[in-house]
Amino acid sequence: NAGVTQTPKFRILKIGQSMTLQCTQDMNHNYMYWYRQDPGMGLKLIYYSVGAGITDKGEVPNGYNVSRSTTEDFPLRLELAAPSQTSVYFCASNPGQGNTEAFFGQGTRLTVV
Amino acid sequence: QKEVEQDPGPLSVPEGAIVSLNCTYSNSAFQYFMWYRQYSRKGPELLMYTYSSGNKEDGRFTAQVDKSSKYISLFIRDSQPSDSATYLCAMSAPSGTYKYIFGTGTRLKVLA
């Protein structure tokens, strides 16, 4: 099993550009999450999904969109990149059913200039 | 007031020391308490998980939860340089979504 795979690992965007951060998991987990991590701020939940076709907002959803057309994939879309979106983005998945361990990807380091 | 408070450190200790890491929280609905370890430029990995109150031990690591004080701790015995990392506490309530609230993380450095 590859676990949770995120691409790309690094990206530099110009203000106003758009991009999609890819996340895929091969563990057949229903629950998937997107977090951002800023220095000294811990992990903040952006969006989450409890299954294919179902998504919901987390603590900091503004400026982002998600979709969940399959169990495996949970892409995060930035439409109009802003410097405030410079961060490290982590995707995670959880099998649910009483198992509370979330498995994280290796992160995408995004800089908006 | 933040839902979860954690001292960001950094915390530097000599090899072999006992390390104590702590978090406080305000939401009495939290039932699941976790400690994640994050090495530099890597994703977090689950270290310890505790449900409700009590202690849990795994090798050199002990997790404690005191729900009456809304306080959780992670103890590392015989600390090693390989323990140098950021330690994040995380908590969730039984909502069916398994959403976690994370602390800011404490950066630990164990000196050889």
More confident residue, A39 or A55: A55
Query: Best mutation site among A23, A37, A50, A94 for testing chain B: the one with the most B CBs within 10 Å?
Result: A37
- Residue B66 pLDDT > 90: yes
Partners of residue B104 in chain A, C-beta under 8 Å: 40-42
Per the CB < 8 A criterion, the answer to whether B46 and B89 are in contact is no
- Chain A residues whose CB is inside 8 A of the B34 CB are 100-101
- Record: contact A90-B98, CB cut-off 8 A: no
Q: How far apart are CA B74 and CA B77, in angstroms?
A: 10
The upper half-sphere exposure of residue A110, i.e. CA atoms within 13 Å in the direction of its Cβ, equals 32
How far is it, in rounded angstroms, from Cα A22 to Cα A8? 7
Of the candidates A4, A101, A106, which has its C-beta nearest B46's C-beta? A101
Q: What is the CA angle A39-B94-A32, rounded to 5?
A: 55
Q: What pLDDT, on the 0 to 100 scale, is given for residue A95?
A: 87
CA-nearest of A53, A37, A38, A54 to A91 is: A37
Structure confidence at residue A99 as a pLDDT band (50, 70, 90) = low
Examine the pLDDT at A96 and tell me if it is beyond 90.
Answer: no
Among A40-44, A54-58, B17-21, B88-92, the range scoring the smallest mean pLDDT is: A40-44
